[in-house]
Amino acid sequence: MDTKVIEQNKIKQVARDYEKRGYRVIVEPKGKDIPSFIHNYLPDIIASNDSENVVIEITTRSDMAAIEKLKDVADLINERKGWRFELVVTTSRQEVESIRKPQLEFIKTTDLSRVLSEVKTLTKLKFFREAFILSWSCLESLSRQLLLDDNKNLKNKNPLTLIKTLFSFGYISHKELDLLEKLFDIRNKVVHGYLASDLNKSTIEKLTDIIEQIVKEN
């Protein structure tokens, strides 16, 4: 599937999600639909309700250069009262093809540094939701690899149970367990589309610090 088609499908999905939540949605807005303070920027979606206006950009995770260029427009929108910028990162064609393989593959430990570098880039650009989701996926992938290597039973283990299992077998400390349980609450808010007021740069750095510590010790 072409990357452009993947992005178009994601645009339709996000638009439907916002419509279901009662927002007025304009897909690929043009002309007067775009506010004057961002007239040189063409977003994929603008969603509005009585309390806020959301400018939404859909892009693939592999296009980090494009993501970095969005920082200025994101800051411009977020500084405006009643407006916020939302970046939705979807998979590229290559990633979709890899998902179609019969056997699912974890993020390799050797690739974690590259993925965590992407997390740091997203955090620097203040795309905290995207950075958090990506870093949490690293945590789950690393956890499952470690526990599978030790022949632990992972059948039907949800993320919270997975974290507790890490603690039970000595991969994380009690302090780290307490922190991850708090971060798990943020994870649930983010992945289910709710605002997480406690999600910030410090939150993501705490999560990536734990991941890097697990890698270092194992």
Q: Which strands make up the sheet holding 45-48, listed edge to edge?
A: 24-27, 45-48, 53-60, 83-90
The confidence score (pLDDT) of residue 109 equals 60
Domains of the chain: 1-102 (3.40.1350), 106-218 (1.20.120)
The confidence score (pLDDT) of residue 62 equals 62
In the chain (218 residues long), the average pLDDT of successive 10-residue segments reads 77 91 94 89 94 89 70 86 86 45 52 85 89 91 77 65 83 91 91 84 95 88
The confidence score (pLDDT) of residue 44 equals 94
Mean model confidence pLDDT for the chain: 82
CA distance 211 to 164: 15
Residues 133-160: tens digit of each pLDDT: 999 988 988 888 887 755 555 555 688 8
Query: β-strand 53-60 against 83-90: which pairing, if any?
Result: parallel
CA distance 153 to 165: 10
